Structure 1
């Protein structure tokens, strides 16, 4: 019985430990681990209830319930607030084109940079979004 309580406390410490201001429970793995922990706690509570150990069974049932509720929490972030339109100077700076650049030159600069910055090629989605916004601003889309 003591091992179950120590294991639950260790799991609680791991869950509440933050890593770079981002708690472990926000990660995708948390949902799986929380569900597995809830099932284990409910099974242990059922076994203890059969053995008529009411207080530990009640504590484990409460712990399992809290894990089950936590597994159902929606960890997705809220959508970003709408931003102001990008200025022409910022769009030119991002794509590296001059004020007199033709639409073909703008598209060529965008294509060249997107080959490097695309998330599938090791870039970030934020940088790709900036390139898309800059191209759209300069081409008037």
Structure 2
């Protein structure tokens, strides 16, 4: 039993030291599993505390608190995205060549051809149709750049 406790403490120290320099980004499913594990560790610690097994109880409290810390809300995730996606990065103004490349139109394309290409691509890339919000934003920016709107 003592080897299990020592191994857990060493693992806890290594995990804590490894994440000290960078923020933890955990998906929603792992947050749920981490929260469940934290709850299980804290309940087991309470049980061992009642039975007066103080050393294992303290080790489980430490592990449970560490797991509970990983279930925290990540403020850099866009809460309006709905799927836990990070907001698209801010970019400078798009060049005309880049906008044409994104929409797949030639430099001589007219307003109707640009709008048709945008509509065709947006039907496939819209977030409601399984696309990503980042790609839809790029298509919107390319259309706005080419049409001047």
Q: Same fold (TM over 0.5)?
A: yes
Give per-residue Cα distances to partners, 1:4-36, cap 9 Å, x unaligned: 86xx69x97xx99xxxxxxx9622112111111
Q: Indicate the residue corresponding to 1:19 in structure 2.
A: none
Question: Where do 4+ consecutive residues of structure 1 move more than 6 Å?
Answer: none
Q: Give the number of aligned pairs.
A: 129
Deviation at 1:105, TM superposition (A): 2.0
Query: Taking structure 2 as the reference length, what is the TM-score of the superposition?
Result: 0.69
Q: Which residue is equivalent to 2:21?
A: none
Residue segments in structure 2 that go unaligned for 5+ positions in a row: 17-23, 78-85
For 2:111 and 2:75, the matched residues in 1 are separated by 41
Q: Does 1:118 align with 2:87?
A: no
TM (norm. structure 1) is 0.72
Match of 1:91 in 2: 99
In structure 1, the residue matched to 2:33 is 33
Counterparts of 1:84 and 1:97, CA distance in 2: 21
Which structure carries more helix by proportion?
A: 1
User: Tell me, which stretches of 5 or more residues in structure 1 are unaligned?
Assistant: 17-23
